[in-house]
Amino acid sequence: MTENDGVARPRPAATVMLLRPVAGSGAERAQRPMEVLLMRRVASMGFAPGAYVFPGGRVDERDADGGLPWTGPTPEEWAGVLGTDVPRARALVCAAVRETFEETGVLLASEPERAGEEAITLDTSTDDWERDRLGLIDRTYSFTEVLRRRGLVLRSEWLRAWSRWITPRSQPRRFDTWFFTAELPPGQEARDVGGEADLTRWTDPAEVAGEWAAGRMPMLPPTVVACAELADRRTLEGVRSAQRDIVPLEPDVREVDGQIRVVTPGGGDFPLPGPDAAR
């Protein structure tokens, strides 16, 4: 789909920076150094092959289902935070949670909390959960159907809006992607299950810039920037307390010192993503 001027229209998408504290520290959970989950896309992917990314993907039309059971900020509240209308806000939050489950097996949902009781930890590694996960991927089920059948609610309060990036206008495939953070729910573990990635790894966000610069972790500019921002916050508590203004950021593609680079609104420049850059 393209706009009238021939520029590809960006498709709405959501991605989640899944975080966990580093084990073995004597500090409280929220005060420990943290890690972020990164996935390396398989080389055959049409978009960003071989690049390290966060779990996420395009919004599905069924993600806007008004019957989706959830707790936390309402779709109306999320619309204000995300800078969009209510149906899209609902769809973005749903897509963020659904895609994270499809690609990692981590589900940001629980039974409804009752007074004086804590939500029961979910084990999503069982055969029946795997059938549901695959049913979401092949569109046999909607996310609303899965949660309602199991008596679960999407926990929108477990998400935090972080940023919004739009693919440069010069690119043939474009996405308007809202970035969220979420902490790994207690008792759950990320698994290599999605099929779109050939490697999943927990990484210190402070190490990403050096690994990217050395060519060992190819990734798109927004991922590099997001990891640097996480590194600045250092801990889960630092992420929780961050003040974020969600405005669309659209990099530009231009020639810098004789090379084609992606230049971000903040002035950083990166190699143009492509098949060669993602190897």
pLDDT values of the chain reduced to their tens digit, one per residue, 279 residues: 555 577 889 999 999 999 999 876 566 877 888 999 999 987 666 666 788 999 999 999 999 988 999 999 999 999 999 999 999 999 999 999 999 999 999 999 998 875 445 656 788 999 999 999 999 999 999 999 999 999 999 999 999 999 999 998 888 888 999 999 999 998 899 988 767 778 899 999 999 989 988 889 988 889 999 999 999 999 999 999 999 999 999 888 777 777 767 777 776 766 665 543 332
Q: Is there a contact between 274 and 225 (Cβ–Cβ < 8 Å)?
A: no
Q: What is the pLDDT of residue 237?
A: 95
Strand partners, 161: 180
User: Residue ranges per domain, the chain?
Assistant: 11-245
Q: What is the pLDDT of residue 13?
A: 97
Other Cβ atoms less than 10 A from the Cβ of 229: the count is 18
Distances (CA, A) of 231 to 37, 58, 84, 204: 13, 26, 28, 8
Helix, strand, coil tally for the chain in percent (to 5):
30, 25, 45
DSSP for 90-112? HHHHHHHHHHHHHHHS---EESP
* CA pair distance 245, 68, nearest whole angstrom: 27
Query: Does pTM surpass 0.85?
Result: yes
* CA pair distance 40, 256, nearest whole angstrom: 28
DSSP for 32-89? SBEEEEEEEEPTT-SSSTT-EE-SEEEPPGGGG-TT--EESS-HHHHHHHHTS-HHHH
Q: Which amino acid is present at 215?
A: G
* CA pair distance 17, 243, nearest whole angstrom: 16
> Closest Cα to residue 134, out of 123, 149, 121, 124?
124
Class of domain 11-245: alpha beta
Q: What is the pLDDT of residue 23?
A: 79
